[in-house]
Structure 1
Amino acid sequence: MTADRIWRLITQRTPGRGGAALRMAAACTTTVLVGEIWQVPDLAVPALVTMALWQKDRVTNVLAGLIVNILFGLIILIMFGLIHLTLDHPMGLAIATALLSFGFFFLGSASKLKPVAYMLGLVVVYAMIAIGNAPIGELATRALLYADLFILVPGAVMVCLAPVICPSPKTLLTRSLAHHLRLSAALLRTPDDEQMRDTAEALLREGAKGMLMSLKMAGLEKIGRKQDLACLKQAIPRSVGILALAHAASCESTHTPDIPAQPPEALIQTLLDMAEIFQSGGYPTDIAQPPVPEPTPAFIKIASLLPDFTNPSAQKAPENGKKAKSGSSGFFAPDALSNPEHVRFAVKGTAAVMLSYFIFKILNWDGIHTCIITCFIVALPTMGEMISKLTLRISGALVGGALGILSIIFVIPHLTNIAAFLIMIFACSLLAAWVKSGDERIAYAGFQIGLAFFLSDLKGYGPTSDMTTARNRIIGILLGNFITYAVFTSFWPSSAYDKIKETISAALKALHTQFQAASVQEELLLAASTQNALAAAERMIEFASVEPIHLRAQMDELATYRAITSQISSLSEDGLIPARRPAASAQLALLDKVVS
């Protein structure tokens, strides 16, 4: 990505981003406050865990807080046994650390625990190191109990604070539906706005996955009526379909500038009126099909989707329940034991952790223990991902470290009470949370800002005025970044280019399934799945394009792959328009031959 693109993503004001950042910063600040009251040492770790695990809605936060604490409770029981085996045995401690690291990296690669496995591994290995520095049994037990607080405090904050400050998943869902409709209306009104088309394309690639998860969480909350949830479930794929059709109409208008299309004002106004109702928390009913000014296929299709937008009884639900059930997997990935990439990833992650651990021990430099923590945060499967996010890691760490050092010099000496200290924590957390709440391409940098700031300014039970602490911990972060990068790109280097064809095949398969849909609702739902698969293929191409020059020299078909993903995107949108479906089906058959 170019610097201009990164800056636009940083400053982009997407709906809900500001509120999500404020709530995340409030949660981190609350964690620090609770840690101050309970005198939890190394407050940086609980604050970091809170930032990593915090979710947008209250139900997901509560569930995540409970599940993480239950999992960590089981891990603590295992660690009590490990203490007896490793206490006063440095070699046994090193072996236990390696085994635990391998286990968590493997779970992060081959199981559904991926979002949490690295955080659990970070806390557990950090606790093992603390135990190694406290060879007395009583001190080791105390260190283990403090490690439990590293997860217990963030979990308690998520469970207790989220219901108070976070919106319900139903509210998030209706706001997301409103955003889809508003963006669709804007595309129909100003089809030549290139930046708006890029925004719509990025939103399309998210598909319906996030909204369906919000719907699921709303069902678990047991507050809304089943009928209301059924109506919202009907609206989810239709909102994605309308946005895809509006994007197709916008692209068509751009490709034929000599034939100016009249904006369908009645259709645009209907979409905006529906968006207002969704934004207020309700959903529209009895929607009349608006007229379109000219027989434009995309306009006609959009208008036809509106009368039954929230009316699930108007047609049969898609009969793909069996397919979805058979395609669902368990806790582990289907290839968890057969694919050597999972084991290799775990071995490389463990090697990075142990190399950091030995450097930390050999140098006897306690301040750089952050190099071990960093390994769990920055490990990524392919070289392309490692390289593409290296700039975000380093820049995030430098920004967070600069905030930490500047606050130590200019702010902390003037703090006179806990309230002023918490205001400083909130302000810096808000900056990190704003970046982390943005596009996934820059969210990584936000987490790195929080990582460097918390580890620089929080030591022991509270703030530190020691510049050495900030310096050492920033050095540790940069060292951890370098070690992880060196290990992952030197041993079994996995190129993103090797995975492009697999992701494109998955996108083509999803497109075939979309074209074979038995009903309109099923077609729209499968079109959203196609967008998800297409996003995975495009990201893999993006990762491959930043790999080293000597590897890119062997990527003969990279440009072809880019062209194929562009065609899949157009075919997915054209397939939603009945008048264009035969031609789209013929192009899909030709595309199959090219890929095979």
Structure 2
Amino acid sequence: MAAHVDSFGQQFRERLALLRPFPGRIEFSIRLALACALTTLVVEIYQTPDPALTAYVAFFVMKRDRMESVIISIVLTILISLLVGILMLVATAVIDQPLWRVISITVVSFGLLFLASASKLKPLAAIIAMIVGYGLDLLSDAHVGELATRGYLYAWLFVTIPATVSIALNLVLGPPPRRLLEQALAHRLALAASLMRNGDEKVRDAFEETLSEGVTGLKTWLKMAGIEKSSPPTDIAALGHATDSITTILLLVDFVDRTQSETMPPPLRGQIADTLDEMASILRVGGYPVDVAIEHGEEDLPPVTATLLADMKETLRRFTERPLPELPIVEAAKAGFFLPDAFTNPDHVYYALKTTAAAMFCYAAYLLLDWPGIHTSFITCYMVSLGTTAETIEKFTLRILGALIGAGLGFAAIVFLLPHLTSIGALLIVVFVVGLVSAWVAAGSPRISYAGYQLAFAFFLCVIQGPSPAFDLTIARDRIIGIMLGNVVAYLIFTNIWPVTVIRRIDPGLVALLRRLVDLTNATSRSRRDSLATDAAGAMGVISQDVELAAYESSRIGSPQFRLTARARAIRHIRALMGPLLLLSNEQSAASRAVAHRLDTLANELSSGTRLVEVTMPPSQNGLPSNTGKDPRAPCTVDGFVMADLEVLESAFVRRGGG
């Protein structure tokens, strides 16, 4: 295996930190656990087959805001109707012919998984894959036409029951997307205020994580709020301005935190922090801050401080600006159903082939072993399939951990709890409690969420065995063995057959990021600058995740000369550069043109194969890298800060090619 960028202890602490609460996490976890419990109640009342899987589908249809949850539930109901229709036609043709039944399972699996990977259905790929696996599992067991028809009608209920529960629950308890957007903006402003007051290491870590997240989720809520039409268009447009400005505010605060003694005196930092806290308080109660001002002139301040203060004032003004009602919201042109690389990128085909191969191996295994109890291995292969080798390895670890914890809780519940349960209400409480724990983990970062999904899956399969209380440990044992087998088979196939390395995305991503910084430096309008800064911060977060994932890959899959630590440090150098670069982009001076040229040169060199090496930045007093103000060559001006950080970034490039 490749050497990890961080030590195991540090990684463990980082994963543990991902379990800390954030605005809306407990509310979403309770709502998701309640959806699992209510779905269990419905399936127990009507005694539909596979109640555990039906309850588990709630994890896929429940989103943090009510509008997206309702849309996902409706879309999945339509999809399951179409899929059931396709599978019923296939079943009618091959039900009495075992060989053709196997062939049809393989062909249908490949076709539907290709669509899930290469089309706009990709965000729903996981649930589509699970539905496909469940439907094909029914097809493999069907030997009589009437039973097959009944089975597929139950398969339709398998999705429509949790989808209906989700719609009803969200219409009653689901938070509107606008509220979630306001809370997220308030959370970011409050973190920025804490950091301006010399926040501790926990605040700094939370701030860095929030900055790396970008605003994709915020823009989704903004879009959902527009679709919901529960708020005036002017309010949605104002929140759009705030979303566009928040990253700029965070980057400016990050710059101040890295260079406190050189850029801003403590009284002024405190005044800005109070302003940010006041804005956060207004957003938390559902209001919108207007007429926000920092009562401090720019006279008698060092050049960089005056520039920074003026830029912060203007950014806060734009944040609180309420546009006129007649201003239209321009939407991007809609693309087709298939992704641009659907028929040119072989990874979509590889994904469908590898997932199908893993599932068919498990299918053949439990048939040859005459062990139908482990049929969960077949369905598991569809649930755990991922695009790259690094993702597969990381998620494999999380899923095995989650499955073991869920299985342990499930066996303990069967032995110690279920014999004493005397009503359906008691069972629902058990499902709710474990669902709450699973939902809390699943609601977090993708770096831990898969453990929550697998915990719930394993526990539900153990405890919810049928329409009545069941204490059969053999059934639970076989289902857990099936989950483990499916995970192991998918892991072995995805890491050994056509492995897709995440490394190949890193350098192109860095090149694109550098070119965004070139555009940022050349930006002629503040709105264009804010948009580019937001895109760059989001891209930086994606590349950072890829670097962390790449540490899971062996040199056989990646490249033995590929230095992950060098890429991680380059990202930190770029991040240190972004704050002063924002200030420089306002000046349109000879210095900004020179910086743009040097950044463009770095992008060209990296794209042509120039090697990155590990170069450290002189540490600042707060432990974050900084080269500003410490270097006597760097005067306390915007140009000086930019040039100093740019030189550190340039020194990481070896201009003799290779590696």
Q: TM-score range by the shorter chain?
A: over 0.9
2:291 aligned with 1:286: yes
Q: What's the % identity of the aligned pairs?
A: 37
C-alpha contact (below 8 Å) 2:247/2:537 kept by paired residues: no
Give the corresponding residue for 2:107. 99
2:277 to 272, 280, 287: 272
Q: Which amino acid aligns with 2:273?
A: I
2:131 aligned with 1:123: yes
How many angstroms apart in 2 are the aligned matches of 1:290 and 1:354?
69
2:520 aligned with 1:510: no
Give the corresponding residue for 2:3. none
Give the corresponding residue for 1:244. 251
1:392 to 394, 398, 401: 398
Give the corresponding residue for 1:114. 122
In 2 relative to 1, CA 24–34 (structure 1 residues): closer, same or farther, beyond 3 Å? Answer: same
Q: Which amino acid aligns with 1:159?
A: I
In 2 relative to 1, CA 434–135 (structure 1 residues): closer, same or farther, beyond 3 Å? Answer: same
Residues 47-446 of structure 1: pairs in structure 2 closer than 5 A: 47-191=55-199, 193-253=200-260, 261-262=266-267, 264-291=269-296, 295=302, 296=305, 297-313=307-323, 324-325=332-333, 329-446=335-452
In 2 relative to 1, CA 292–96 (structure 1 residues): closer, same or farther, beyond 3 Å? Answer: farther
C-alpha contact (below 8 Å) 1:107/1:113 kept by paired residues: yes
Q: Kindly state the Cα deviation for residue 446 of structure 1 after the two structures are TM-superposed.
A: 0.7
Q: Which amino acid aligns with 1:303?
A: K
1:449-491 residue CA offsets vs partner (Å, 9 max, x unmatched): 1111111111122543111111111111111110001111111
C-alpha contact (below 8 Å) 2:182/2:284 kept by paired residues: yes
How many angstroms apart in 1 are the aligned matches of 2:287 and 2:262?
39
1:487 to 466, 484, 493: 493
1:321-360 residue CA offsets vs partner (Å, 9 max, x unmatched): 69x43xx632221111011111111111111111111112
| TM superposition score normalised by structure 1 | 0.93
C-alpha contact (below 8 Å) 1:383/1:496 kept by paired residues: yes
1:516-535 residue CA offsets vs partner (Å, 9 max, x unmatched): 43421232122111122112
In 2 relative to 1, CA 551–308 (structure 1 residues): closer, same or farther, beyond 3 Å? Answer: closer
2:576 to 566, 570, 576: 570
C-alpha contact (below 8 Å) 1:17/1:434 kept by paired residues: yes
1:23 to 31, 54, 75: 31
Q: Which amino acid aligns with 1:176?
A: A
How many angstroms apart in 1 are the aligned matches of 2:308 and 2:398?
40
Q: Kindly state the Cα deviation for residue 59 of structure 1 after the two structures are TM-superposed.
A: 0.7
How many angstroms apart in 2 are the aligned matches of 1:308 and 1:126?
51
Q: Kindly state the Cα deviation for residue 439 of structure 1 after the two structures are TM-superposed.
A: 1.8
How many angstroms apart in 2 are the aligned matches of 1:460 and 1:292?
71
In 2 relative to 1, CA 53–287 (structure 1 residues): closer, same or farther, beyond 3 Å? Answer: same
How many angstroms apart in 1 are the aligned matches of 2:295 and 2:585?
20
Unaligned runs of 5+ in 1: none
How many angstroms apart in 2 are the aligned matches of 1:580 and 1:218?
32
In 2 relative to 1, CA 533–463 (structure 1 residues): closer, same or farther, beyond 3 Å? Answer: farther
In 2 relative to 1, CA 299–442 (structure 1 residues): closer, same or farther, beyond 3 Å? Answer: farther
How many angstroms apart in 1 are the aligned matches of 2:413 and 2:565?
47
How many angstroms apart in 2 are the aligned matches of 1:100 and 1:455?
26
Q: Kindly state the Cα deviation for residue 506 of structure 1 after the two structures are TM-superposed.
A: 2.7
3-state secondary structure, aligned to 2:317: coil
Q: Kindly state the Cα deviation for residue 314 of structure 1 after the two structures are TM-superposed.
A: 8.8
In 2 relative to 1, CA 504–282 (structure 1 residues): closer, same or farther, beyond 3 Å? Answer: same
Q: Kindly state the Cα deviation for residue 590 of structure 1 after the two structures are TM-superposed.
A: 4.5
C-alpha contact (below 8 Å) 1:21/1:434 kept by paired residues: yes
2:548 aligned with 1:538: no
Q: Which amino acid aligns with 2:504?
A: D
How many angstroms apart in 1 are the aligned matches of 2:79 and 2:223?
22
3-state secondary structure, aligned to 2:576: helix
In 2 relative to 1, CA 331–510 (structure 1 residues): closer, same or farther, beyond 3 Å? Answer: farther
Give the corresponding residue for 1:522. 528
3-state secondary structure, aligned to 1:32: helix
Q: Which amino acid aligns with 1:517?
A: A
How many angstroms apart in 1 are the aligned matches of 2:296 and 2:605?
41
Q: Which amino acid aligns with 2:363?
A: Y
How many angstroms apart in 2 are the aligned matches of 1:90 and 1:424?
41
Moved more, 285-294 or 241-250: 285-294
> How many residues were matched structurally?
588
How many angstroms apart in 1 are the aligned matches of 2:89 and 2:566?
55
In 2 relative to 1, CA 237–362 (structure 1 residues): closer, same or farther, beyond 3 Å? Answer: same
| TM superposition score normalised by structure 2 | 0.84
How many angstroms apart in 2 are the aligned matches of 1:465 and 1:115?
37
1:292-340 residue CA offsets vs partner (Å, 9 max, x unmatched): 7955244442232222323144999899x69x43xx6322211110111
1:2-48 residue CA offsets vs partner (Å, 9 max, x unmatched): 222222222x1112111111111111111111111221111111111
Unaligned runs of 5+ in 2: 1-7, 608-659
How many angstroms apart in 1 are the aligned matches of 2:440 and 2:297?
40
How many angstroms apart in 2 are the aligned matches of 1:107 and 1:201?
36
Q: Kindly state the Cα deviation for residue 573 of structure 1 after the two structures are TM-superposed.
A: 2.6
Q: Which amino acid aligns with 2:47?
A: Q
C-alpha contact (below 8 Å) 2:410/2:459 kept by paired residues: yes
How many angstroms apart in 1 are the aligned matches of 2:505 and 2:424?
51
1:416-473 residue CA offsets vs partner (Å, 9 max, x unmatched): 0011110000000000000011122101111111111111111122543111111111
Moved more, 406-415 or 86-95: 86-95
Q: Kindly state the Cα deviation for residue 568 of structure 1 after the two structures are TM-superposed.
A: 2.6
Greater helix proportion: 1
Q: Which amino acid aligns with 2:61?
A: L
Residues 438-457 of structure 1: pairs in structure 2 closer than 5 A: 438-457=444-463
Q: Which amino acid aligns with 2:275?
A: T
C-alpha contact (below 8 Å) 2:462/2:479 kept by paired residues: yes
Q: Which amino acid aligns with 2:15?
A: I
